[in-house]
């Protein structure tokens, strides 16, 4: 009896840690252990090595998983995902080795941590996906409060304990929307860029809508409130990639719900679609001028942004030709572009290309891109197969999370180039595998 209680306690500890990690994923508190000049002569400084608090929390989740280790059944599709994940880790490590640049081992370590997190969630997570949705909704609500204060006061106040840098709309380098009436500060939350916050809030909003479709009574009202708050917060980021990701995720969420419920509840589908679009339209109407500027790409800053992103494709093809098979090394595109191509006078003009597949091609080569595409396709195949088998609505949410990240990744780079993006991607992958494993375990028990 005591051993059984101890086992339950360990399981609860693991599940609780994971839920806290998902809610605090945007937290950027960290310890800088490696600081390096961007270019020779110290023209600009760039932080290259940070140990984030969420990385320590991820390590705790993995260690807690090892603590409750037990063997279980693995179906063929899940085994393929795990193998492709490990293959990607190996290719990235080889790319870092062949690049000869020590800095490239930092993103490799992120990938290793992400792979172990996926394996831990797959093997040991036993709670309902609804609790994951609650954790994401709460995390989004916390970020909304921060975003609302930043947008209201048009200032991001620095806080070293939260890892937040100061941002003012009249300072160069701050993410703003410039209109004829002035510069509008885009909300950052606790993250380094509004696009990252917008994507997290898109995920949180869809998690709230997932709860709205899953519960009844007053809990549905609370879920609707959470969705409204998170959609409003997403609007304050003015992130185009987040909006597109949200709409793609919403389509998948509603289609999955219709398939799982055999189209018996069309009223809920129409209600969620109408509610979401109403909130989006309301936010756009309240902030008409900056929204129109972003959507229509009007103004000086929008033109500069589009031109710089188009120029990144020229940089990318030049680097691919230089190192076609294993790339220039993970995390190395900006630095290699600055030293080899030297297209711009300012070091801060060199960024990773805002396209996830092409960034992976540049940094890990043709081999890395093939393995990554195989991993993504195996995940999507597993998710689609699970939904079409009508194994339950819980399996839909992880697919939605992956769709949001992959869609946003077509217009941004943080899903690959930041620990925050890696954390969300690997956690979503693990949750999908866990949802499949739970169905297998329950069928075996029957």
**Tokens, residue 184:** 């509008």
Per-residue pLDDT, 391:
65
CA separation for the pair 348, 46 (Å, rounded): 9
- The domain containing residue 153 runs over which residues? 2-445
Among candidate residues 431, 443, 446, the one with its CA nearest the CA of residue 128? 431
- pLDDT of 43 reads 37
Coil, helix or strand for 264? coil
pLDDT < 50 positions in the chain: 1, 3, 38-47, 443-446
- Identify whether the C-beta of residue 415 lies closer than 8 Å to the C-beta of residue 409: yes
Number of H helices and number of E strands within the chain? 16, 4
Task: Characterize the bridge pairing of strands 45-52 and 30-37.
Answer: antiparallel
Question: For residue 336, what are the CA distances in angstroms to 100, 109, 285, 342?
Answer: 12, 20, 43, 9
Q: What is the pLDDT of residues 172-187, one digit of tens each?
A: 889 999 999 899 999 9
pLDDT, position 438: 63
Cβ-proximal residues to 119 (8 Å cutoff; 6+ apart), any chain = 65, 82, 430
The alpha carbon of residue 92 and the mean position of all alpha carbons in its chain are separated, in whole angstroms, by 19
DSSP annotation string for 357-413: HHHHHHHHHHHHHHHHHHHHHHHHHHHHHHHHTT--GGGHHHHHHHHHHHHHHTT-S
Q: State the total domains in the chain.
A: 1
In this prediction the pTM is: 0.94
């Amino acid at each position: 009896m005591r051993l059984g209680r101890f086992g339950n306690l360990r399981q609860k500890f693991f599940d609780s840690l994971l839920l806290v990690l998902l809610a605090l994923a945007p937290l950027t508190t960290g310890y800088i252990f490696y600081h390096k000049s961007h270019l020779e002569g110290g023209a600009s400084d760039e932080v290259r090595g940070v140990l984030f608090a969420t990385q320590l929390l991820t390590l705790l989740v993995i260690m807690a998983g090892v603590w409750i280790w037990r063997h279980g059944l693995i179906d063929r599709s899940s085994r393929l995902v795990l193998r492709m994940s490990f293959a990607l880790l190996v290719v990235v490590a080889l790319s870092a080795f062949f690049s000869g640049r020590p800095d490239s081992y930092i993103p490799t370590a992120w990938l290793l941590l992400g792979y172990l997190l996926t394996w831990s969630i797959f093997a040991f997570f036993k709670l309902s996906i609804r609790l994951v949705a609650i954790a994401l909704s709460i995390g989004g609500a916390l970020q909304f409060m921060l975003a609302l204060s930043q947008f209201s006061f048009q200032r991001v106040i620095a806080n070293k304990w939260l890892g937040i840098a100061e941002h003012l709309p009249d300072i160069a380098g701050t993410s703003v929307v410039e209109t004829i009436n002035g510069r509008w500060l885009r909300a950052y939350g606790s993250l380094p860029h509004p696009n990252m916050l917008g994507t997290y809030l898109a995920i949180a909003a869809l998690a709230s809508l997932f709860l709205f479709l899953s519960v009844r009574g007053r809990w549905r009202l609370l879920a609707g409130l959470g969705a409204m708050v998170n959609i409003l917060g997403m609007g304050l980021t003015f992130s185009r990639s987040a909006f597109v990701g949200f709409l793609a995720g919403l389509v998948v969420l509603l289609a999955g719900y219709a398939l799982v419920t055999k189209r018996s509840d069309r009223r809920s589908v129409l209600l969620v679609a109408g509610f979401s679009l109403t909130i989006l339209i309301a936010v756009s109407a309240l902030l008409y001028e900056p929204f129109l500027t972003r959507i229509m790409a009007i103004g000086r800053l929008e033109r500069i942004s589009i031109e710089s992103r188009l120029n990144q494709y020229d940089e990318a093809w030049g680097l691919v030709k230089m190192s076609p098979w294993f790339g220039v090394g993970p995390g190395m595109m900006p630095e290699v572009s600055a030293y080899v191509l030297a297209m711009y006078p300012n070091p801060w003009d060199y960024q990773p290309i805002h396209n996830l597949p092409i960034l992976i091609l540049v940094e890990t080569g043709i081999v890395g891109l093939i393995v990554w595409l195989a991993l993504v396709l195996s995940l999507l195949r597993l998710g689609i197969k699970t939904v079409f088998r009508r194994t339950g609505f819980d399996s839909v949410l992880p697919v939605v999370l992956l769709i949001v990240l992959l869609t946003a990744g077509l217009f941004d780079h943080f899903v690959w180039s930041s620990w925050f993006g890696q954390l969300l991607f690997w956690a979503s992958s693990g949750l999908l595998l866990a949802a499949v494993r739970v169905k297998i375990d329950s069928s075996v028990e029957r």
